[in-house]
Structure 1
Amino acid sequence: MRIHWVSTIFIVLFKSTSEVGPVLSMWQFDGNGKLLHKVNTRLSAGSYGEDELISLIQTLYIKQPVSSTSISGDEEETEWAEYKIKESNMFTVDKYQQIGFFPNERAFALRYQTAGMLETVLRQGVLGEDDTGEESPKNLKLPSSRPSIVCENCLYSINKDMRARAFHIMDPKGILEMLLIFLEERGSVVDAPPSLEDNSNRIVPFLGRWKGSSVTKRSGVYGATMAEHDTVASLEIDENGLLIQDISSTVKGSDVTANVQWTGTMHDNLIKFDKGFQLTLLPGGMYMGCPTDIAKSVAELKSFHLEFCWLESPDKRQRLVRTFDAEGLAVSSTYIFETKI
């Protein structure tokens, strides 16, 4: 069995000058939502085995930039770097990366120990042959060698055969370092590559009231249980220019309801709430949320969560929330689908 994801990412070890097919792009943003870099890639994935023995094989190709030493006018073939990702046994992934998987929604969340692979992709996709191996290359922001959290949240498109994978990377002190978005479309031919088109006012699509339902799956170390809730969320701007977010969650089939209200301020594309949580607004109807200071939550023995939201159409959105305990272990993953009311 083999599938192809025409993607947007970074990576590479082995160079190839052969054409590997149509490409999409990956976007790197800073914590304020500023676009830093865009890299073209292609991902090929396959699997073998059955049940707990099933393993995933992936090969990532990254389009390299033209070298600064190339002579103007030279007609060189597009150069790609090829990286064979280490085979992953699905049982091992579940045990060590604490995967939160929602098969019906084709959504998942993973955690990583390092960001080494992402650094390699950034170096090859942005610097290519001009990479001199510097620890801090000019005009390229790399993830810390020992990040406190590297988390991937993946949401599948409601309208197309494509997905968005969002990476939170927190520095060793627990502060947001960068955000990565990979858009991937299945197949070998793409009529019009998806794009993260910028919006002059990224907050507008998220304002209003949203109603939906959620599924929460607790990780194995926390009992491997599942719970379903009805949700109502709202985000409004009051007369003083403050953002008011109100979220209520009711256990399905009961009248047990939890309600959380936050007040926040917005500067450019960054929203900071009074409860120590922030949202970075991204183009393409997306936002990513995280604590302003994970270290503070850990010091206070509090759990914390990371969030990815994708609003593909004006009235429908998906959210994926990954909750961690004070020791950095994944407590649960929650998938939410909501409609604007």
Structure 2
Amino acid sequence: MKSQWECFLQNLGVWEGSFTNFSPQGNFLKDTPSVLSLEHLNNNQTVRLTLTRSGRDVIREFSSVGGGLLFFENGSFSEGLIQLGAFSEFGGELAFVRENRRLRLVQLFDKNGQLNEVILIREHLAGTPTAERPPLQIDDLLGEWQGEAVTIYPDWRSPDTYSTTLKLQLDNTGRLVQSTSFAERTITSSATVKGSIVLFDQDPEKLIQVLLLPDGASATSPLKVQVRQPLFLEAGWLIQPNLRQRMIRSYNDKGEWVSLTLVTESRV
């Protein structure tokens, strides 16, 4: 099993792309070209991150990883707050790494807990093809998906691996019906579909929204985060028509970050 540092090193390179900002309703706000360099120094003991965006450089240096940051063995990762607090800003980043591409998603909430902004970051290694997937449509997701999930933990206990099944279909009224099975549990829910917004509205107190975004991406989150309620942030990436990954950052009812899950699934 790779160490967290070795997993981090899967991200080394110069990544060219852009930061695309969307409103909570999925409306395009702006697109900012970016170049992000991750280079190793001191015989791989240090990694320097240099982000150039809007003519400005942000530089960070890492000699270890931890806190609110966790990596999977393929280099995919998530970074965010480890604790949800009352009347404080909240958010997290979920990032996929695959071959010469990275797709990162940032979800930000204001001090009142309301979803405030979604940022989609699409990157490719410098000098490699920039091919992207088309914008995600609900029809791209319909059917049955079978996969494997890996859950890792902030306390670095041993990962859990288990099979998953996701079934998505439209009923006679046009509502989306979702059935998720994992670790011998099955959860069924339904949602309204309106353009690029899928809203799970069965519980008005816990509205969950999915935004369908460019490059086969999706952003799933509560419309409002609240203390004393468990919550999760999720990103999805349709890599190929029948291959998808999802990443879920989960918090318990005390607002504590408890786990990070990466699901790799294929349509059957």
| Number of the residue aligned with 1:107 | 76
State the AA in 1 paired with 2:52: Y
Q: Which consecutive residues of structure 2, in runs of 5 or more, have no partner in the other structure?
A: 1-8
**Residues 318 and 337 in structure 1, CA contact (< 8 A), matched pair in contact too:** yes
State the partner residue of 2:161: 228
Q: Is the counterpart of residue 154 in structure 1 residue 154 in structure 2?
A: no
Instruction: Establish whether residue 7 from structure 1 lines up as the match of residue 16 from structure 2.
Output: yes
Alignment correspondent of 1:47: 40
Contact map agreement 2:90 2:113 (CA 8 A) in 1:
yes
1:86 maps to amino acid: R
Structure 2 residue matching 1:193: 3-state secondary structure: coil
Whether contact under 8 Å (2:178, 2:189) holds in the other structure is yes
Q: What is residue 57 of structure 2 aligned with on the other side?
A: 83
Partners of 1:305 and 1:279 lie apart in 2 by: 12
Q: Deviations over 1:10-35 (max 9, x none)?
A: xxxxxxxxxxxxxxx22111122221
TM-score of the superposed pair, with normalisation by structure 2: 0.85
| Superposition deviation, residue 49 in structure 1 | 4.8
Structure with more strand by fraction: 2
Displacement of 1:112 = 4.8
Please, which of 329, 332, 335 is the counterpart of residue 256 of structure 2?
329
SS state at 1:284 partner: helix
Counterpart residue number, 2:225: 294
After superposition, the Cα gap between the structure-2 partners of 1:169 and 1:196, relative to the gap in structure 1 and judged at 3 Å, is farther
Q: Give the corresponding residue for 1:242.
A: 175
Q: Report the residue type matching 1:245 in the other structure.
A: Q
Provide, for residues 194-214 of structure 1, a one-character-per-residue CA deviation record: whole Å limited to 9, x for no partner. Answer: 446446xx2110111100110
Give the aligned partner of residue 5 of structure 2: none
Instruction: Give the structure 2 partner of residue 61 of structure 1.
Output: 52
Shift of 1:7: 2.6
Contact 2:229/2:254 (8 A) holds in 1:
no
Counterpart of 2:4 in structure 1 is: none
Distance of 2:106 and 2:88 partners within structure 1: 12
- The answer on whether the counterparts of 1:219 and 1:225 sit within 8 Å (CA) in structure 2 is no
Instruction: Report the CA distance between 1:50 and its aligned residue.
Output: 7.0
8 Å CA contact 1:7, 1:26 repeated in 2: no
- Aligned-partner SS, 2:263: strand
Aligned Cα root-mean-square deviation (Å): 2.4
Cα separation, 1, equivalents of 2:22 and 2:88? 17
Find the structure with the greater CA-based Rg: 1
CA distance in 1, matches of 2:61, 2:255: 25
- Aligned amino acid, residue 230 of structure 1: S
Say whether the 8 Å CA contact 2:24–2:115 is kept in structure 1: yes
Q: How many residues are matched?
A: 251
Give the partner amino acid of 2:57: Y
Q: Does 1:32 align with 2:21?
A: no
Aligned residues of 2:135 and 2:217 also touching (Cα < 8 A): no
Separation in 2 of the partners of 1:338 and 1:266?
Answer: 22
Query: Percent identity of the aligned residues?
Result: 23
- Cα deviations by residue, 1:76-125 (Å, 9 ceiling, x for unpaired): xxxxx2414232332xx40x22x22111x321111159xxxxxxxxxxxx
